[in-house]
């Protein structure tokens, strides 16, 4: 491995590590109110929805239907592994049929 590649990898690892450990440290310094905490608690889900929504409708019918099945299973059972299995399984079946 070349030295510049090693330096780049170590630099990226250091930055990744620093961002992971600085998050909880910075959160302790900030005093939040209930409104801010409510927004932050919903933020990861909204980011995921914003990233996935265009993909769901841009690819095809099988993917859109499988996404709907996954959403229904997730809402009904509130079980992430079950939702994952339902989504992947329905996508495999729908791609085979459609």
Give the pLDDT of the chain (98 residues) as one tens digit per residue.
799 999 999 999 999 999 888 888 877 777 778 887 787 787 887 888 888 888 888 888 999 999 999 999 999 999 999 999 999 999 999 999 98
Number of domains into which the chain is organized: 1
Phi, psi of 88 (to 5 degrees): -65, -45
Q: What is the extent of the structural domain holding 96?
A: 45-98
* The model's pTM: 0.55
Residue 23 counted as domain residue: no
Q: Which residue has the tokens 């791609």?
A: 95
Per the CB < 8 A criterion, the answer to whether 67 and 87 are in contact is yes
Positive or negative torsion for Cα 76, 79, 82, 85: positive
Residue 21 counted as domain residue: no
Residue 78 counted as domain residue: yes
């Amino acid at each position: 491995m070349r030295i510049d590649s090693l330096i780049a990898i170590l630099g990226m690892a250091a930055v990744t590590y620093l961002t992971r450990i600085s998050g909880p440290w910075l959160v302790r310094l900030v005093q939040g109110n209930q409104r801010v905490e409510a927004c932050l608690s919903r933020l990861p889900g909204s980011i995921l929805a914003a990233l996935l929504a265009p993909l769901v409708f841009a690819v095809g019918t099988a993917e859109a239907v499988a996404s709907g099945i996954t959403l229904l299973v997730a809402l009904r059972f509130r079980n992430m592994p079950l939702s994952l299995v339902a989504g992947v399984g329905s996508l495999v079946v729908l791609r085979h049929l459609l």
